[in-house]
Amino acid sequence: MFRVLKTSTKIVIGVVLLLFLVFLALPSLEGLPFKRMSDFDMNIS
């Protein structure tokens, strides 16, 4: 039982860390395409 608890807590911690990293990365990931598109539009005009 203790082993099962240990592995489940490890999984929960891993998922929480992954979600935290995703939330941290989201703004930069969303900002990249818009920056590229604005640069592209400026080059055309």
* For residue 41, pLDDT beyond 70: no
- DSSP string for 1-45: -HHHHHHHHHHHHHHHHHHHHHHHHHHHHHHHHHHHHHHHHHHH-
Q: Please tell me which residue, 25 or 9, carries the higher pLDDT value.
A: 9
Rounded CA separation 17/19 (Å): 5
pLDDT tens figures, 14-36: 999 999 988 887 777 666 666 66
Q: Give residue 3's pLDDT.
A: 78
Average pLDDT over residues 5-11: 89
Please state the pTM of the whole predicted model: 0.47
* For residue 7, pLDDT beyond 80: yes
